[in-house]
Amino acid sequence: MIKAGGVLVVSLSLLLAACAADSCKDHPCTPDEKLIEAVKGNIRQHSALLTDQIRVQAEDGTIYLYGRVSTNVELVEVEDVAKSTPGVKKVINLCSIENVQR
């Protein structure tokens, strides 16, 4: 049984995830959503990283990276890119190293 408060939290989480998946151009975003867009943009600028394999989430300025990279060098690079984004307080890199098809 889900309590009403749990439904609100789930609904809000889904709404924020949907906003983060979209561009912030069409509607106002929270600071974390803007941070997600900035980190994604910085990651896209690095041709060595497979951007479609990396997901970005944020909570109170902390960036969470999920997905797959091919090498330890890419694992470090994606974290460094996220850390260098203005406004990022902390990066939690949960990416795994796997043989990713290029």
Tell me how far apart the alpha carbons of residues 81 and 51 are, in angstroms, rounded to a whole number.
12
Domains in the chain, ordered, with CATH? 4-97 (3.30.1340.30)
**Whole-structure pTM value:** 0.68
What pLDDT tens digit does each residue of the chain (102 aa) get?
444 444 333 333 434 444 444 455 555 567 899 999 999 999 999 877 767 789 999 999 999 999 999 889 899 999 999 999 999 999 999 999 987 565
Q: Which residues contact 79 (CB under 8 A, 6 or more apart)?
A: 65, 91, 93
Give pLDDT, residue 2.
43
